[in-house]
């Protein structure tokens, strides 16, 4: 009697994160070692490997590529009594669902291994037959990504129709204007869902302040070489994180979460920094307990998180438990962005515009003009939680902190 060990989705993902099985590295019958990577799960935030909880042979795969999963779900099972010398089990040919709902075995025309429910659903959505799609999975099995790639490769609607192939369905009918359909990635779908949910849940209001960065520029010029010698790049974002900590201490209600019966104000200040990815999309790694870090500590942590985010090496824990978010949209040239959608269930998000040298009054009298490095900063608030007065209090404290640098 085989002794089976469950392979499960790790518990403790980021809130609201949707996960799908991306790739199985092993097939049924393959030998596995404890802690050996078995499969990869993709979310809108990170890709994470799931390791084998024991040594033996992979006895079952219960969740196929492209299937959505939840924390604790059983992905497969390992036969821990199937040692390295155990002959590889004969696996019966998997079944494939035909258009009429009946099953057919692999090996017939277009055979490509077992179709997961997600793949069958996607084929139906795009009026496709499995025989049209080449499978890249184990044994030629069709994966979710294979179908997405095929839809994308078919080009414009007119070209597809001219070739006599079925027209891909979409949430809206093609406009008739020449173009082509680009399937959404899992990250883009989830970001879209979160944005709509945030706007629906929270009334967004934005305050805008102007800030003089002369002190920040001078301090950075004087200290960036020393920081680099100590192992951290001193970026302007590090200063914004430090100033945000000071402002959140001054107005702690901003560092909160709305509940229907109470406002939960957090003791720790966990600041997420929105990071654009070269492959598209956005991720928000979190600097946990930022209130305990000095400027060097913030710069060091920020560098580590940013590098791992862009290299696809973040751990799920790196994107969890954020209490406040900064969007430094000015790095790509934007002066003002409003409203920036709040990263639910947080209560506010800080926006940093492009730093530019502008002519400003040299003193309160306004009789003289000088040129200073300036930028616009915004705070978009959940108006259920905060009023404009509190938003302005926060931005005043933020600007004041930067001026003291």
| Reduced 3-state DSSP string for 225-285 | HHHHHCCCCCCHHHHHHHHHHHHHHHCHHHCEEEECCEEEECCCCCEEECEECCCCCEECC
**Whole-number Å distance between alpha carbons of 326 and 138:** 42
Helix (H, G, I), strand (E, B) or coil at 147: helix
The closest alpha carbon to 113, from 136, 133, 88, 139, belongs to 139
Chain centroid, CA 216 distance in Å: 30
End-to-end CA distance of the chain: 69
The closest alpha carbon to 236, from 129, 330, 107, belongs to 330
387 is catalytic: yes
Under 8 Å CB-to-CB from 356, ≥6 apart: which residues? 335, 373, 374, 375
383 is catalytic: yes
**Whole-number Å distance between alpha carbons of 233 and 153:** 41
**Whole-number Å distance between alpha carbons of 388 and 383:** 8
- In the set 221, 292, 315, 387, the catalytic residue is 387
Under 8 Å CB-to-CB from 95, ≥6 apart: which residues? 103, 104, 105, 106, 114
DSSP 9: P
- In the set 180, 204, 219, 383, the catalytic residue is 383
Q: Decide: residue 161, CB within 10 A, 0-12 exposed, 13-18 middle, 19+ buried.
A: exposed
Whether residue 23 contacts residue 39, with contact meaning beta carbons closer than 8 Å, is answered with: yes
Whether residue 288 contacts residue 268, with contact meaning beta carbons closer than 8 Å, is answered with: yes
The closest alpha carbon to 235, from 248, 216, 209, 212, belongs to 216
Catalytic residue set:
383, 387
């Amino acid at each position: 009697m085989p002794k089976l060990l469950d392979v499960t989705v790790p518990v403790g993902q980021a809130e609201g994160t949707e996960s799908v099985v991306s790739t199985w590295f092993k097939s049924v019958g393959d030998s596995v070692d404890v802690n050996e990577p078995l499969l990869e799960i993709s979310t809108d935030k990170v890709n994470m490997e799931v390791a084998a909880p024991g040594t033996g042979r992979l006895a079952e795969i219960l969740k196929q590529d492209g299937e959505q999963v939840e924390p604790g779900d059983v992905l497969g099972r390992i036969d821990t009594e199937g040692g390295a010398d155990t002959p590889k089990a004969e696996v019966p040919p998997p079944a494939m669902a035909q258009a009429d709902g009946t099953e057919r075995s692999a090996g017939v025309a277009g055979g490509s291994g077992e179709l997961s429910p997600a793949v069958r659903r996607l084929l139906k959505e795009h009026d496709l037959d499995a025989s049209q799609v080449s499978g890249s999975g184990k044994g030629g099995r069709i994966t979710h990504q294979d179908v997405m790639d095929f839809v994308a490769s078919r080009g414009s609607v007119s070209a597809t129709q001219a070739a006599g192939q079925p027209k891909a369905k979409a949430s809206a009918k093609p406009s008739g204007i020449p173009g082509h359909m680009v399937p959404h990635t899992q990250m883009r779908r989830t970001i879209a869902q979160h944005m709509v949910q945030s706007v629906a849940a929270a009334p967004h209001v934005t305050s805008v302040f102007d800030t003089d960065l002369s002190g920040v520029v001078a301090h950075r010029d004087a200290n960036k070489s020393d920081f680099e010698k100590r192992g951290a790049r001193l970026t302007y974002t590090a200063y914004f994180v430090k100033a945000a900590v000071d402002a959140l201490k001054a107005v702690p209600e901003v560092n909160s979460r709305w509940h229907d019966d109470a406002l939960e104000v957090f003791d720790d200040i966990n600041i997420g920094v929105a990071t654009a990815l070269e492959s598209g999309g956005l991720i928000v790694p979190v600097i946990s307990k930022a209130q305990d870090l000095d400027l060097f500590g913030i710069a060091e942590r920020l560098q580590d998180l940013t590098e791992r985010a862009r290299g696809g090496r973040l751990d799920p824990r790196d994107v969890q438990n954020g209490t406040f978010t900064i969007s430094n949209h000015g790095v790509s040239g934007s002066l003002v962005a409003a409203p920036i959608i709040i990263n639910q269930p947080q209560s506010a998000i800080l926006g940093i515009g492009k730093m530019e040298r502008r002519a400003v009054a040299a003193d309160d009298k306004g009789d003289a003009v000088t040129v200073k490095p300036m930028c616009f900063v915004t705070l978009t608030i959940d108006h259920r939680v905060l009023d404009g007065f509190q938003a302005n209090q926060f931005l005043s404290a933020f600007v004041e902190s930067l001026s003291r640098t």
